[in-house]
Structure 1
């Protein structure tokens, strides 16, 4: 989704039903919120968490959306990054004496918004 304003342009990317806990994904998202695109890539590539790979793919997708609009992704930063809980998959695991044990597998929705911070928009915001 692409939104054009008079001074800035923002590009959104949304991933739904990612098979991980929203708490684990928020741990990674909190580290990249407000950072530049290039700095975000370095942080996500070096993070040891499994959630970092899914978020890295989503940041690449948002950058591709910006490239389709004709923006330079090197001049953009992450203005919004949020994680919301998705549906919970309920599964059964067999236990002793023919009983079953419920397992809850959480999912989450991740949204990333990139904004352009080019020289023109910075000069206009100072005036």
Structure 2
């Protein structure tokens, strides 16, 4: 017998100009929670990436509603991932003509939802 795969919907955003370390701190708070609860948590978080993740999670919920006709109450966050994107390298002038490297990090954020 074949096992049925759970219905999954996802949303992703790429090349976000935020460090993946800062985004992962917020994604760890919503992993495994219901979508409704995760949206409520993100709405009241004071961090900059939380607004981006809030919009991304709303997009994943609307994808699930459109594709599978599922209610937002039965969805949970199956996977929330922030992968490193390309690094923009800049130089800051320092003493005696040296250049100090500055790494402006980017990330790719992916959220997958499944039915409870």
Shorter-chain TM-score range: 0.7 to 0.9
1:102 counterpart SS class: strand
Distance 2:78 2:97 in 1: 52
What do you get for the CA RMSD once the two structures are aligned?
1.8
Matched residues, number: 113
Please list the CA deviations of residues 78-114 of structure 1 after superposition, one character each: whole Å capped at 9, or x if unmatched.
Answer: 0111111111011233456665433210011111100
- After TM superposition, the structure 1 = structure 2 runs for residues 11-90 of structure 1, keeping only pairs within 5 Å, are 11-69=9-67, 70-90=69-89
TM-score of the two chains, using structure 1 as the length reference: 0.79
TM-score, with structure 2 as normaliser: 0.86
Unpaired stretches in structure 2, ≥5 consecutive residues:
none
In 1, Cα distance between equivalents of 2:91 and 2:85? 19
Name 1:111's counterpart in structure 2: 110
